[in-house]
Amino acid sequence: MRVANHLDLEIGRRLRRSRLIENLTQERLAEKLEISFQQLQKYECGANRVSSSRLWTISRVLGLPIMYFYEGLDDGEISAAIDCAGAGAGVGAGDGDLTDKTIQTARLLQKMPDGEVKNRLFELIRAVSRTQ
| Per-residue pLDDT, 1 | 60
Please state, in angstroms and rounded to a whole number, the distance separating the CA atoms of residues 78 and 6.
Answer: 6
- Hey, which CATH number is domain 6-98, 1.10.1740.10, 1.20.120.80, 1.10.260.40, 3.40.50.2000? 1.10.260.40
Say what the pLDDT of residue 116 is.
85
Confidence band, pLDDT 50/70/90 cuts, at residue 7: confident
Q: Which residues contact 92 (CB under 8 A, 6 or more apart)?
A: 86
Cα(74)–Cα(6) distance, integer angstroms: 10
Cα-flanking dihedrals φ and ψ of residue 67, to 5°? -70, -15
Rounded CA separation 27/3 (Å) = 25
pTM: 0.61
CA distance 25 to 129: 29
